[in-house]
């Protein structure tokens, strides 16, 4: 299912990427072109397209990103590739593919794990065998009967609504893919109906028994936080459900609804995994760092984790950019070649507890050793969707020149922000994309570095909400290095694949946020690592940012009952093509508990000012792990559910500050840059 779609995408990208032995980078044989995009993905995967299985896989361009690369060039790197599989026996994972055939095998194994509705699909804390002891007997899964009874929790319905599937999709914010992702309706036997007549949104999947038969049990998938939807009335092949795109889900609302239905995993609902729809608190998994790969937790490790602070909300980075980054996550915490931590939420439950869980922990970890690299490789091949609407070519070409050449710190700009490394342009941090600059040795040492972003921008320069970075304390990262997900066998080697923000690894590099590649940026709204800015215009013009806003919801579905609609994903109706982002409403500071409480998390006197009590609470949240999660009212009323759509940037970890250096741009320059970004 997904393989067919991906190959269609890769065929078009193959037309843009040469396969000559020199690997020179061209578009339409024009190395001086200003427009064109490979749309991300994995360079080796594109290279292997159409080639025999025995073709050797060339060097991964990410491995070129080493100390000294691009020294003094326009594009700057200070975050470097680590090869976590130099000793496959030590880490007990597969070595990298040596031939195109082996690479394809990785891909298809990964696709099987990630392809909802398919045989061999994996799910949250269950792996591929939900009833194994290592998965705690399926504690993280729920029955189709429980799922079918969700409407009883919503209220206002006299019977199961005919549009139940649509209402589930909207209420929890996850769309449908074109392929079958079935579940059994009430009274159906899944093995007599090929899984069932219902269609699950992509954040869920029905699992199989070990013999391949349908189980009637449903699990949560990675697509709940990492994939989204873009719909349109126009016929465009790249629209629809976007694997690896911007999520709009509310997992906490789902857990709240499932609690009275007996879903055991809903017991974490009081922790409030997230407080705003479309964001997540995935980095709270840092708590698992408490458990070392061998032995028992230590008192010192416990205090390191306890005092690292609450990680707060984040907006997951796009999958289609992973093949153009040496490090992963918004702060570059781990090497891109460390697949375990990407798939941490698919680890069978007891695998999270390391040596503490004994043989069950080892069994869960062995599952991850076997499957993590496959999942990672599948994800890395994702391609960004093409912008489906008209583009002003002349304006976009002007934007391409500005993106790569305009020095925001030129003397006449009087930029008050400290100057970063590189030539002072957007490309200095985000990478070079246009063939004219990719082939220019003043920009890149090697054209294969096209689109590569490996600059951890110091907090003093980027200035975005610092909570995520500050929770990765030296104590937390050194404790995490002993954890299974920190690759302990590599510790203190040249390719140490533990947390990269450890002082011994990063050296003099300041902590900050890793600049992202910008493929498919048009489809990635909202922006910043916490999703606090609704469109690219406001990224580039900080003074236009409104502190409290709510993205527009889809029109209400027909019928009775307590209906909660998801965000509107229709391009014609809800997308702002001028500002490049989803439309939103400005929210005032008024009594809309708990998101907009006067005197607590906003001020009626000054909408831009954060009240002192919120600042005090931020200090507490930032000092003790988990306090932010616990100190939040439960979701009870429909008003509470709707208020979770509000982005209040005064709240802990939700700040929309930063990227202030683009204040020196003119509006004309911003329009040109936005037009160019549409082409990536």
**DSSP track, 279-302:** -B-GGGGGGGGGS-SSS---HHHH
Q: Residue 26 — pLDDT band, cuts 50, 70, 90? A: very low
Residue 7 has pLDDT above 50, yes or no: no
Instruction: Give the pLDDT confidence of 391-422 residue by residue, as tens digits.
Output: 999 999 999 999 999 999 999 999 999 999 99
CA distance 606 to 79: 40
Helix, strand or coil, per DSSP, at residue 582: strand
3-state helix, strand, coil in the chain (%, to 5): 35, 10, 55
- How far from 303 is each of 82, 300, 476, 516, 620, CA to CA, in Å? 29, 5, 9, 32, 15
CB 35 within 8 A of CB 404: no
Weakest-pLDDT range from 285-289, 480-484, 591-595: 591-595
Mean pLDDT across the stretch 103-109? 97
Residue 8 has pLDDT above 80, yes or no: no
Mean pLDDT across the stretch 340-349? 92
CB 400 within 8 A of CB 35: yes
Q: What is the DSSP letter of 123?
A: B
Mean pLDDT across the stretch 671-675? 99
**Residue that terminates a domain, selected from 329, 364, 381:** 381
Domain that holds residue 253: 100-294+337-381
CB 473 within 8 A of CB 466: no
Nearest 10 degrees: CA dihedral of 552, 556, 557, 559? 160
Nearest 10 degrees: CA dihedral of 160, 163, 165, 167? -90
Identify the residue with better confidence: 667 or 232. Answer: 667
CA distance 105 to 289: 32
Beta bridge mates, 219: 205
Identify the residue with better confidence: 647 or 285. Answer: 647
Identify the residue with better confidence: 547 or 285. Answer: 547
Long-range interactions of 349-353: CB distance < 8 A, separation 24+: 349/125, 349/126, 349/134, 349/135, 349/136, 349/139, 349/140, 350/133, 350/134, 350/135, 350/136, 351/134, 351/484, 352/125, 352/288, 352/291, 353/288, 353/291
Please name the residue that has the structure tokens 């005919």. 162
Q: Is residue 180 part of a domain?
A: yes
Residue 15 has pLDDT above 70, yes or no: no
Q: Residue 593 — pLDDT band, cuts 50, 70, 90? A: low
Predicted confidence at residue 28, as pLDDT, reads: 54
Least Cα distance to 445 among 14, 23, 18, 84 occurs for 23
Over pLDDT 70: what percentage of the chain? 94
Predicted confidence at residue 93, as pLDDT, reads: 96
Predicted confidence at residue 381, as pLDDT, reads: 96
CA distance 166 to 174: 10
Q: How many domains does the chain have?
A: 2
Residue 597 has pLDDT above 90, yes or no: no
Rg (CA), the chain: 24
Predicted confidence at residue 280, as pLDDT, reads: 86
Q: Is residue 256 part of a domain?
A: yes
Least Cα distance to 566 among 629, 510, 641, 499 occurs for 641
Distance, first Cα to last Cα, the chain: 26
Q: Is residue 528 part of a domain?
A: no
Helix, strand or coil, per DSSP, at residue 367: helix
Beta strands in 523-633 (DSSP E): 548-551, 575-576, 581-582, 584-586
Helix, strand or coil, per DSSP, at residue 328: strand
Mean pLDDT across the stretch 476-504? 96
Instruction: Give the pLDDT confidence of 170-212 residue by residue, as tens digits.
Output: 999 999 999 999 999 999 999 999 999 999 999 999 999 999 9
Structure tokens at 59: 């060097």
Q: Residue 27 — pLDDT band, cuts 50, 70, 90? A: low
Q: Is residue 90 part of a domain?
A: no
Residue 20 has pLDDT above 50, yes or no: no
Q: Residue 234 — pLDDT band, cuts 50, 70, 90? A: confident
CA distance 215 to 144: 9
Please report how many Cα atoms fall inside a 13 Å half-sphere around the Cα of residue 448, on the Cβ side. 20
Q: Is residue 361 part of a domain?
A: yes
Structure tokens at 670: 């911003």
Instruction: Give the pLDDT confidence of 609-655 residue by residue, as tens digits.
Output: 999 988 999 999 999 998 888 877 778 788 888 999 999 999 999 99
Q: What is the DSSP letter of 198?
A: E
Predicted confidence at residue 130, as pLDDT, reads: 94
Q: Residue 281 — pLDDT band, cuts 50, 70, 90? A: confident
Bond preceding residue 628 cis, omega within 30 of 0: no
SS3 string of 496-517?
CCCCCCCHHHHCCCCCEEECCC
pTM over 0.85: yes
Beta bridge mates, 327: 335
CA distance 336 to 341: 10
E strand or H helix at 575:
strand 575-576
**Residue that terminates a domain, selected from 346, 381, 416:** 381
CA distance 79 to 475: 21
Over pLDDT 90: what percentage of the chain? 79
Q: Is residue 641 part of a domain?
A: yes
Q: Is residue 212 part of a domain?
A: yes
Weakest-pLDDT range from 15-19, 312-316, 399-403, 450-454: 15-19
Mean pLDDT across the stretch 153-166? 93
CA distance 71 to 207: 50
CB 551 within 8 A of CB 645: yes
Mean pLDDT across the stretch 531-550? 98
* Pairing verdict, β 182-183 and 327-328: unpaired
Beta strands in 18-141 (DSSP E): none
Weakest-pLDDT range from 62-76, 246-260, 379-393, 496-510: 246-260
* CA 642 and chain centroid, separation: 23
Predicted confidence at residue 535, as pLDDT, reads: 98
CA distance 102 to 7: 17
CA distance 38 to 211: 41
CA distance 465 to 269: 25
How high does pLDDT run on average in the chain? 91
CA distance 242 to 236: 13
Q: Is residue 363 part of a domain?
A: yes
Phi-psi category of residue 111: left, alpha or beta, with phi > 0 → left and psi -120 to 50 → alpha = alpha
Q: Residue 270 — pLDDT band, cuts 50, 70, 90? A: low
SS3 string of 632-665?
CCCCCCHHHHHHCCEEECCCCCCCCCCCHHHHHC
**Is the alpha carbon torsion for 436, 64, 445, 54 positive or negative?**
negative
């Amino acid at each position: 299912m997904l393989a067919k779609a991906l190959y269609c995408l890769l065929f078009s990208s193959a037309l843009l990427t040469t396969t000559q032995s020199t690997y020179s980078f061209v578009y339409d044989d024009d190395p001086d072109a200003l427009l064109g995009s490979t749309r991300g993905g994995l360079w080796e995967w594109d290279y292997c397209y159409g080639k025999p299985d025995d073709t050797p896989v060339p060097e991964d361009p990410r491995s070129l990103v080493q100390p000294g690369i691009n020294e003094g060039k326009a594009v700057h790197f200070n975050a470097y590739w680590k090869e976590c599989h130099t000793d496959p026996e030590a880490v007990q994972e597969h070595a990298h593919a040596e031939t195109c055939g082996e690479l394809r095998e990785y891909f298809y194994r990964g696709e099987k794990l990630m392809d909802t509705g398919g045989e061999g699909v994996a799910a949250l804390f269950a792996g591929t065998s939900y009833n194994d002891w290592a998965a705690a007997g399926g504690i993280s899964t729920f029955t189709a009967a429980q799922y079918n009874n969700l409407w009883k929790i919503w209220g206002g319905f006299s019977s199961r609504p005919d549009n139940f599937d649509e209402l589930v999709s909207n209420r929890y914010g996850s769309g449908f893919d074109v392929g079958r992702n079935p579940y059994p309706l009430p009274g159906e036997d899944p093995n007599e109906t090929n899984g069932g007549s219902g269609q699950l949104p992509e954040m869920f999947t029905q699992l199989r028994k070990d013999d391949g038969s349908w189980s009637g049990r449903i699990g949560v998938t990675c697509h709940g936080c990492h994939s989204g939807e873009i719909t349109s009335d126009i016929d465009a092949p790249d629209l629809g459900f976007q694997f690896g795109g911007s999520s709009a889900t509310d997992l906490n609302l789902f857990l709240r609804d499932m609690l009275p239905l007996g879903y055991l995993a809903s017991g974490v609902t009081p922790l409030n995994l997230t407080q705003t729809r479309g964001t997540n608190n995935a980095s709270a998994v840092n708590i698992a760092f408490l458990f070392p790969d061998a032995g028992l937790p230590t008192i010192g490790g416990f205090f390191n984790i306890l005092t690292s602070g609450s990680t707060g909300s984040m907006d997951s980075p796009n999958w289609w950019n992973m093949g153009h980054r040496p490090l992963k996550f918004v702060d570059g915490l781990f090497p891109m070649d460390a697949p375990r931590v990407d798939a941490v939420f698919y680890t069978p439950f007891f695998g999270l507890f390391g040596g503490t869980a004994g043989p069950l922990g080892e069994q869960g970890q062995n599952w991850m050793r076997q499957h993590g690299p496959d999942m990672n490789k599948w994800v890395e091949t994702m391609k960004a969707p093409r912008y489906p609407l008209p583009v002003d070519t002349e304006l976009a070409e002007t934007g391409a020149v500005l993106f790569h050449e305009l020095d925001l710190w030129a003397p006449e700009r009087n930029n008050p922000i400290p100057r970063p490394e590189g030539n002072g342009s957007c490309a200095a941090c985000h990478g070079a994309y246009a063939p004219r600059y990719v082939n220019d040795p003043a920009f890149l040492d090697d054209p294969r570095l096209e689109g590569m972003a490996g600059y951890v921008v110091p907090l003093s320069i980027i200035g975005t909400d610092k909570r995520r970075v500050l929770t990765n304390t030296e104590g937390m990262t050194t404790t995490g290095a002993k954890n299974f997900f920190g690759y302990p066998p590599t510790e203190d080697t040249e390719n140490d694949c533990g947390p990269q923000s450890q002082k011994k690894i990063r050296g003099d590099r300041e902590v900050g946020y890793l600049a992202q590649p910008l493929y498919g940026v048009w489809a990635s709204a909202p922006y910043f690592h916490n999703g606090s800015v609704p469109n690219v215009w406001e990224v580039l013009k900080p003074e236009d940012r409104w502190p409290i806003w709510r993205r527009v919801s889809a029109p209400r579905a027909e019928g009775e009952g307590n209906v909660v609609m998801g965000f509107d994903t229709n391009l014609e109706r809800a997308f702002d093509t001028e500002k490049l982002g989803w439309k939103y409403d400005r929210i005032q500071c008024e009594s809309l508990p708990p998101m907009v409480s006067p005197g607590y998390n906003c001020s009626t006197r000054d909408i831009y000012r954060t009240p002192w009590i919120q600042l005090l609470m931020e200090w507490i949240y930032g000092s003790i792990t988990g306090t932010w999660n616990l100190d939040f009212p439960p979701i009870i009323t429909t008003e509470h559910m709707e208020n979770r759509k509000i982005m209040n940037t005064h709240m802990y970890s939700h700040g929309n500050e930063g990227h202030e250096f683009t204040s020196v741009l003119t509006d004309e320059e911003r329009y040109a840059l936005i037009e160019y970004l549409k082409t990536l």
